[in-house]
Chain A
Amino acid sequence: MAEILSLRQAVERFVSNGDTVALEGFTHLIPTAAAHEIIRQDKKDLTLVRMTPDLVYDLLIGAGCAKKLVFSWGGNPGVGSLHRLRDAVEKQWPQPLEIEEHSHADLANAYVAGASGLPFAVLRAYLGSDLPKVNPMIKFIDCPFTGETLAAVPSVRPDVTVIHAQKADRKGNVLIAGILGVQKEAALAAKRCIVTVEEIVDDLQAPMNACVLPTWALTAVCVVPGGARPSYAHGYYERDNRFYQQWDPIARNRDTFTAWVDEFIRGTEDFSAFQAKLAAQQEAK
């Protein structure tokens, strides 16, 4: 059974220094609040796994929480680069960042394999590509039945996965709707799973075949309204495209980035206080 906790409690108890952590959500339902809380609690030496690092890992990398990044597409969608990611890779700031780079199909398969309890995933990929030359975790095997050369990649088995979802019921069963990405697979591949939700309701009213994660497969459920902003939560709020644009100049420069993190994340008690502070700043503009 998942415990209903505050996000602070959940991160304190279930995210440790040195953990392999996956914050998933494919452009939709990105668990921003959880990334902030990890920074507030100053977790260190994390191996971060995520198909699209997005702003959440730009934050964690720039704030010095990460020692390694496993990913498949590292840009700011519709805007350009993730400057903190680039600075870490190109100039080792604030510390060297080991990268392990895959393709989307590869990482998606690796999560499926992780959720399936398998040691590796097999897929038709990478023949002729340079990626296997720079990522020794990509290997090739011969199909035992046809002889076809296929790619093999290790499954993703995070110590902890964090996802955001629309709602949970009072027992901690979670309903996810809209673009699912690899959230279900990431949740089931992990040793522990924290889910932040927009609200807790009496009855999920989930249609048959809806994506419901049962409470007994989860570790903690935390109510964090707006917790996926600036990404979106289908049925609750839209993507804040403007913030993705505003992020570019904030993250482009080390000092403006650190000042922003100090003021808005380390300088606020929780995500609700962060949102209030950000809203006040936007209004003053």
Chain B
Amino acid sequence: MNYSTNEMMTVAASRRLGNSSVCFVGIGLPSKAANLARLTHAPDVVLIYESGPIGAKPSVLPLSIGDGELAETADTVVPTGEIFRYWLQGGRIDVGFLGAAQVDKYGNINTTVIGDYHQPKVRLPGAGGAPEIAGSAKQVLIILKQSHRTFVDKLAFITSVGFGEGGDHRKRLGLPGNGPVGIITDLCIMEPEAGSNEFVVTSLHPGVTREQVIENTGWAIRFADQLGETAAPTETELQALRALEARTAAAHGQAGGDE
């Protein structure tokens, strides 16, 4: 089956989520990938949304982080304060699944501002739940489309911390979780290099060249010695994804979750 680069990105991200994981899900692309995982290889994955649903099993993608279907299909719905206090800070989240406006080579995330904070060129929505998810989840996955503008050498603002300045900086900062383990884009998969914790390309999606990745990265991106090729989406994965998107469009009158 033919597939788009966006579909490849979502499928590749969904594969990173194990069946026994407890996953704190960001809205948009992370929510799409996490629900695709639940609808394919990980039916028992536990999806937690910051609005309060624990164990949400929506049949369509939510447009907002607090859509009613998340509550209706959840095992339980708790107050937002409890989500962050007991379940995230309490150390019960295996995987934090985040989107970003910009990311740097150490997996730090900017969702706050482009330009100077006090005289911004572009004011972005802000932190939301991401800083503490990035800090406290045992692992973090980041999903976003790759371009010069999104993969930058230096972030204007560090909203959520990956490996800080690299090396053991994250550990020295005292953040409890292990930090980002993968950045999944429409071109490739990046993972932190042992020691430096700099993100390097470990897998190219089918048909993508090194040059394309270099052109679309704002720092001197490096490639792992053992560079893999991402397996193309299977028919099962694509059908599940397209059915999910079709149900979402029918329910909301708009495509959900690409933001």
Contacts and interface: CB of A to CB of B under 8 A. Distances in A.
Q: Do A and B bind each other?
A: yes
A181 B66 CA distance: 9
A179 B66 contact: yes
B254 A232 contact: no
Interface stretch (B33-41, B158-166, B223-231): B158-166
B64 interface: yes
Counting chain B CB atoms within 10 Å of each CB, the highest count among A28, A90, A129 belongs to A129
Given A179-B51, A179-B77, A130 B89 contact: no
Contacts of A27: 51, 64-67
B64 A78 contact: yes
B188 interface: no
A148 B136 CA distance: 15
A101 interface: yes
Contact of A123 (B51, B66, B89): B89
B43 interface: no
Contacts of A79: 259
B176 A124 contact: yes
Contacts of A112: 81, 85
Contact of B79 (A90, A102, A130, A182): A182
B63 to A, nearest CB: 3
Contacts of B157: 130
B112 interface: yes
Nearest to B176: A124
Contacts, number: 174
B80 A180 contact: yes
Interface stretch (A1-9, A233-241, A273-281): A233-241
Counting chain B CB atoms within 10 Å of each CB, the highest count among A75, A81, A111 belongs to A75
A239 B88 contact: no
A178 B53 CA distance: 9
Nearest to A182: B80
Contact of A242 (B50, B122, B127, B253): B253
B1 to A, nearest CB: 28
A238 B66 CA distance: 12
Interface residues of B, number: 57
Contacts of B63: 77-78, 239, 241, 244
B158 A179 contact: no
Nearest to A241: B252
B160 A129 contact: yes
A247 B173 CA distance: 42
Contacts of B71: 28, 178-179, 234
A68 interface: no
A135 to B, nearest CB: 10
B68 A105 contact: no
B192 interface: no
B218 interface: no
Given A73-B128, A78-B254, A109-B81, A181 B123 contact: no
Contact of B159 (A71, A75, A130, A244): A130
A184 interface: yes
A219 B170 CA distance: 47
A80 B124 CA distance: 9
Contacts of A232: 68
A109 B127 CA distance: 15
Given A109-B84, A179-B77, A101 B126 contact: yes
Counting chain A CB atoms within 10 Å of each CB, the highest count among B51, B83, B85, B88 belongs to B51
Given A111-B81, A181-B80, A127 B65 contact: no
Contact of B259 (A78, A103, A182): A78
A53 to B, nearest CB: 9
B113 to A, nearest CB: 9
A73 B123 contact: no
Interface of A: 26-28, 51, 71-75, 77-82, 85-86, 89-90, 101-106, 108-109, 111-112, 123-131, 134, 148-149, 178-182, 184-185, 232, 234, 238-239, 241-242, 244-245
State the 3 A-B residue pairs at the shortest beta-carbon distance, nearest first: A27-B66, A75-B125, A78-B63
Given A74-B123, A101-B112, A241-B254, 12 more contacts: A26-B52, A27-B65, A27-B66, A72-B128, A73-B126, A78-B63, A109-B85, A123-B132, A126-B131, A129-B159, A179-B77, A181-B51
